[in-house]
Amino acid sequence: MEQVKEGNIVRVHYTGKLTDGEQFDSSKGRDPLEFTVGAGQMIKGFDDAMPGMTVGEKKTINILPEDAYGVKDEQAVIEFPKENIPKDMKLDVGMQLQLRNERGQPFPVTVAEIKEDIIVLDTNHALAGKELVFDIELMEIVK
């Protein structure tokens, strides 16, 4: 049987969970995810798990933060003036917002704390600092 090697285009079904079992993503009910192995399209730990797999094979992998979305960077927690938020917007801790960088590109942030004049925003990826568990099934090696 043909085994996956770097450079192959593959299609997989996956379910991503945290170590406590909470599911954060899945391809179930959708088309399989297609990507090129080793091209940097996936987080490193997911990419690294693919070589050697055969069509129909299933595996469960654990990915440490440094091979997923990185460790949590405390310098990525910023203070944002409350006056820059629309007056009618209701904020809650844990709420996701979109800010724009200097090039106008949107990026997600999470409200970490609400103070009198300041909102503390966490610009880390929501999964930064977390160990991830993926159930992977190789559906196809694209020819």
pLDDT in the model for residue 85 = 87
Find out if CATH 2.40.10.330 is the number for domain 74-122: yes
pLDDT in the model for residue 62 = 98
Environment class of residue 37 by beta-carbon count within 10 Å: exposed (0-12), middle (13-18) or buried (19+)? buried
pTM of the model: 0.83
| pLDDT tens-digit map of 92-134 | 999 999 988 889 999 899 999 999 999 999 999 989 999 999 9
Q: Which fold has domain 9-70+127-142?
A: Chitinase A; domain 3 (3.10.50)
